[in-house]
Amino acid sequence: MKGRKWTEKWLAGVVCFLMMALPVLGWSPGNVRAEEAPEGISIHGSLEGREILFAEEDVPINAGTIFAPKADGAVTHVKLYTAKEEQGKYYVQIWDYELEEEIVSYEWELSGGVEGWRYFALPEPLHLNAHHNYMVSVMNTEESRYYARVEGYFKDGDDVSSQFVTTSTSGRFSLSEEVLPNNEFNQRTYLRDIVFVPGEGKEAPVQDADLSGYETVYVSDLKWGESYSNGTQVAVDGATNLEGIYFSGKSYDKGFSMYASPRAGDSFVEVNVEGLGFTSFAAYVGIPELLLNEVILTGSADFVVVADGKEIARSPVMSFGDAPYLLIADITGAKVLRFEVGPGGDGNVGDLAAWGNAVISRRPVSDGEKIFESAQLLATPTPEPTETPGTVTPTTKPGNTSSPEGPGESNGVLLYVILGITGAVVIAGVIVIVVVKRKK
């Protein structure tokens, strides 16, 4: 009896100890500890100090995160922050956001009781390209319509990993796994993420053209390395793909434009100029005037020239309506130039930044605006026409609008058209005559 009572007391003591210790370790009845993170990097940084809210909707939602990795690499896991109530079948998707196409999709069976990050291992790593926009999304189902969110998370991007580019509206949602999540609200995140293993960065390619005979060339004519424009493509020789670069009513035929990202320097163009002998860079920079976009009326940005990782020139913050600023930099001995824009310290809404007539030159920086006087377009060889074996490529001469089948068939078709119209007029006339006679 004494042994039995001692055993019962010992067991009771162990139970009491566990009841006190386990909550300290993050466990309580109905609550399983969050899973251990696999090796790699993720989009979301620390959530410390952020209020994580949980909600349950009337219908399932497909929520996702838009991102661009800064280096080539591979996704090994998708991660999701769950409430304890979340469980059941979920749908995991990774999209090419620029092409609006699904790349991979999987089903994920989740057990309940976990508040924190959960990890889904991809059957095989998925390769992603640097500075290309993707989306990771996870959709809940009727079994569990809960989801976690943080309001305003992407507003400034401060908590986002520096290895990824996001926008202020990277958090998106839809109501179907068949539709790319593209609705945004309150710059929130839905805590959909990846585990990413980056590879080595790419070097900017060397220039193919022989530039020894050029004193000043346009940057937009050179071969570029990596570039990024806050979720869009960098516009070449224009403010956008539809409009040219205009400052204060004056047109700049050459140059490039990009939208600033929330984090300064995430929007950029990179160019290799090693061994070319150019000594100066010059451009007119500012917020361009557009006919088709009123958002830029609130735009502001700052422009930075970086040579081999070191800042060598910076503009003041430029706002819409400001006269263009002449940005000049000494690039003597530089290998890789990087042209960056930042959001101007007030968010990046409408921050379209244009580099008008951007050039590199052998002239000294002291020449100022005279640097542009010797700018030349690069000669581009005309490609020879290629033909597929066994086929004939039809050709037409200037001023000859005949079809490839030859002028005879084209004239024959025209003759048939004329005869058809004539016949229709004659028939119509006969009908009118018959009707008139009947009335009489």
Secondary structure (DSSP) of 198-264:
E-PPPPPPPP-S--TT-SEEEGGGSPEEEEEBTTBPPEESSSSSSS-EEETTEEE-SEEEEEPPSST
pLDDT value, residue 217: 97
Closest among 375, 374, 364, 362 to 212, alpha carbons compared: 362
Q: Which residue has the higher pLDDT, 261 or 231?
A: 261
Q: How many angstroms separate the CA atoms of 375 and 357, rounded?
A: 9
120: how many CB neighbours lie within 10 A of its CB? 18
pLDDT (average), residues 189-214: 90
Give Cβ neighbours of residue 92 (< 8 Å, ≥ 6 apart).
78, 105, 106, 107, 108, 120, 137, 138
- Asked whether the predicted pLDDT for residue 308 surpasses 80, the reply is yes
Share of the chain above pLDDT 90, in %: 59
The reported pLDDT for the residue numbered 411 is 37
Q: Would the pTM of this model clear 0.85, i.e. be above it?
A: no
Lowest mean pLDDT among 119-123, 329-333, 382-386: 382-386
Q: Are 163 and 72 in contact (CB under 8 A)?
A: no
Residue 220 — φ and ψ, nearest 5°? -70, -15
Task: State the pLDDT confidence band at 35, using cuts at 50, 70 and 90.
Answer: confident
The mean predicted confidence, pLDDT, of the chain is: 81
Name the more confident of 108 and 383: 108
Angstrom distance (rounded) from CA 59 to CA 174: 11
Angle CA(119)–CA(61)–CA(170) in degrees, nearest 5? 70
What is d(CA 406, CA 384) in angstroms, rounded to the nearest whole number?
24
Q: What is the pLDDT of residues 415-431, one digit of tens each?
A: 333 345 445 443 444 33
Average confidence (pLDDT) over 123-150: 93
Cβ–Cβ under 8 Å, residues 296 and 320? yes
What value does the mean pLDDT take over residues 27-53?
76
